[in-house]
């Protein structure tokens, strides 16, 4: 699995979860949703639990199921994207896999609170959990999406020594690198060439001159015009209008680099 900036699936998942947990509005919405559901008392809980206990029960259910589903689905979707499966398929795989531990968790809660048989209840819950997981993953990704966000143009700096590998007729105005087997395709404003190296090594040598976007793509900071979402997946818009995909494991590094 490709890595960048010492990121792993676990590290990226934790970083995203930490960033989400620091949002006050998110917690207000999550706890408020649990409280409102508790007042309505779905699935027979209105008659079986008193109001205070019912509100507490559903607040716990909503909070714990969200975090369990979020962490599992994000990690699985990140793994899927690392192997070349892009959104929205990777998102669907993450939601499907997350449905299993979510169902087990809910069936366990029901068994503890209402003495229902674990396996029978799990079988009844699974179809509903799958549908809700897909809907929640899609909605959360849509809320996270943004319209075109302009990126301030990078100030010109002296280029790194790696640029000396470029043929003289192509100049040193590097735009992007694209991994191709044991080579990278280097593109400048004047043309393209193949250089025998790995994208990881090239990105390391180029340092802050550019940003790794994907296991196959690197782009110079000065070539970035904006960030946006297309079909639920983040992309970087270049100055010439082209769009490059952003891998899930590279999103946090990209946000931090362009902040």
Residue 4 within any structural domain of the chain: no
Per-residue pLDDT tens for 68-77? 999 999 888 8
Q: Do 54 and 156 share a domain, yes or no?
A: no
Last residue of a domain, one of 103, 126, 144: 144
Q: Do 77 and 165 share a domain, yes or no?
A: no
Computed over its alpha carbons, how large is the radius of gyration of the chain? 23
Kindly state the tokens that stand for 110.
């029901």
Residue 195 within any structural domain of the chain: yes
Q: Which domain holds residue 221?
A: 149-258
Cα separation, 255 vs 250, in Å, equals 9
Residue 3 within any structural domain of the chain: no
Confidence check: pLDDT of 170 > 90: yes
Per-residue pLDDT tens for 2-55? 333 334 577 777 877 887 888 888 899 999 999 999 999 887 888 888 999 999
Cα separation, 92 vs 212, in Å, equals 25
Which residue do the tokens 């919405």 mark? 29
Q: Do 18 and 83 share a domain, yes or no?
A: yes
Q: Do 119 and 164 share a domain, yes or no?
A: no
Which residues, at least 6 apart from 163, have a Cβ–Cβ distance to it below 8 Å? 172, 174, 206
Confidence check: pLDDT of 130 > 90: yes
Task: Region of 232 please: left (phi>0), alpha (psi -120 to 50) or beta.
Answer: left
Q: Do 129 and 31 share a domain, yes or no?
A: yes
How many domains are there within the chain?
A: 2
pLDDT, residue 176, reads 95
Q: Do 111 and 189 share a domain, yes or no?
A: no
Say whether pTM exceeds 0.85.
no
Confidence check: pLDDT of 1 > 50: no
Instruction: For helices 51-82 and 24-40, give the axis angle rounded to 10 degrees.
Output: 130
pLDDT, residue 155, reads 52
Q: Do 110 and 69 share a domain, yes or no?
A: yes
Helix H or strand E encompassing 217: strand 217-220
Q: Do 158 and 199 share a domain, yes or no?
A: yes
Average pLDDT, stretch 74-94? 80
Q: What angle do CA 238, 240, 243 make, to 5 degrees?
A: 40
Lowest mean pLDDT among 41-45, 62-66, 247-251: 247-251
Q: Do 68 and 170 share a domain, yes or no?
A: no
């Amino acid at each position: 699995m490709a890595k960048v900036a010492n990121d792993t699936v676990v590290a990226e998942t934790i970083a995203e979860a930490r960033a989400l947990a620091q949002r006050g509005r998110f917690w207000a919405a999550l706890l408020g949703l649990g409280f409102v559901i508790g007042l309505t008392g779905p699935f027979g809980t209105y008659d079986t639990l008193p109001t205070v206990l019912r509100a507490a029960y559903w607040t716990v259910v909503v909070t714990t199921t969200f975090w369990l589903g979020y962490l599992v689905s994000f990690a699985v979707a990140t793994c899927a994207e690392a192997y070349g499966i892009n959104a929205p398929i990777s998102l669907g795989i993450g939601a499907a896999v997350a449905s299993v531990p979510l169902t087990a968790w809910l069936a366990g809660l029901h068994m503890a609170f209402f003495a229902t048989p674990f396996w029978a209840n799990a079988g009844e819950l699974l179809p509903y959990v799958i549908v809700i997981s897909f809907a929640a993953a899609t909605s959360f990704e849509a809320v996270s999406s943004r319209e075109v966000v302009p990126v301030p143009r990078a100030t010109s700096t002296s280029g790194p020594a790696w640029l000396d590998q470029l043929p003289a007729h192509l100049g040193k105005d590097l735009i992007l690198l694209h991994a191709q087997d044991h080579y990278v395709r280097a593109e400048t404003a004047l043309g393209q060439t193949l250089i025998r190296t790995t994208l990881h090594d090239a990105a390391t040598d180029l340092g802050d001159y550019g940003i790794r976007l994907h296991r196959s793509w690197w782009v110079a900071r000065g070539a970035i015009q904006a960030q946006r979402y297309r079909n639920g997946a983040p992309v970087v818009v270049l100055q010439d209008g082209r769009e490059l995909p952003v891998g899930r494991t590279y999103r946090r590094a990209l946000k931090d680099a362009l902040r």
